[in-house]
Amino acid sequence: MEIRKGIAVSPGIAIAKPMVIDSKDYRIPRRSIMPSQRDKEIQRLRKAFSKAILELENLGSSKAIQEGKIGDIFAVHMRFLKDRSFRKRVTDFISKDLVTAEYAVSTILREIASHFAGIDDAYISERAADIFDIEKRLLTHLLGKKQEEVDHLREEVVILAADLTPTQTAGFNKSFVKGFATEKGGRTSHTAIVARSLGIPAVVALGDLSSEVPPECVVIVDGNRGVVIIDPDDDTLKQYDVYAQQMTQFVHELDQLQELPAETRDGVHIKMLGNIEFPDEAEQIIEKGGEGIGLYRTEFLFLYGGQEPTEEDHYNAYAEAIRAVGDKPVVIRTMDLGADKLPHTRWHPNETNPVLGLRSIRYCLQDLSLFKTQLRAILRASVLGDVRVMFPLITNLQELRQAKMILRDVMEDLDEFAVPYNADLPVGIMIETPSSALTASLLANESSFFSVGTNDLIQYTLAVDRANEHVSTLFSAAEPAVLYLIRSVIHESYKAGIGLSICGEIASDPEFIMLLLGMGVRTLSLAPPMIPEIKKIIRSVTIEECNKLSRAVSTMDSARQIKNYLRDAAIRILPETF
Residues identified as active-site: 190, 503
Taking residue 245's Cβ as centre, other Cβ atoms within 10 Å add up to 11
Q: How many residues does the chain have?
A: 578
Strands 293-296 and 2-5: unpaired
Q: How far is CA 11 from the centre of its chain?
A: 16
Distance of alpha carbon 428 from alpha carbon 490, whole angstroms = 14
User: 140-149 long-range CB contacts below 8 Å, 24 or more apart?
Assistant: 141/47, 141/48, 141/51, 141/52, 142/44, 142/45, 142/48, 142/101, 142/102, 142/105, 143/26, 143/102, 145/24, 145/26, 147/24, 148/21, 148/22, 148/24
Contact at 8 Å (CB) between 77 and 138? no
DSSP tag of 55 = H
Q: Which of 544, 428, 530 is nearest to 489 (CA)?
A: 428
Distance of alpha carbon 201 from alpha carbon 205, whole angstroms = 14
Q: Which of 530, 571, 560, 468 is nearest to 251 (CA)?
A: 530
Distance of alpha carbon 439 from alpha carbon 394, whole angstroms = 11
Contact at 8 Å (CB) between 271 and 288? no
Name the H helices within 420-558: 434-438, 440-444, 454-462, 480-496, 513-519, 531-538, 543-553
Q: Is the dihedral of CA 80, 83, 86, 92 positive or negative?
A: positive
Contact at 8 Å (CB) between 268 and 543? yes
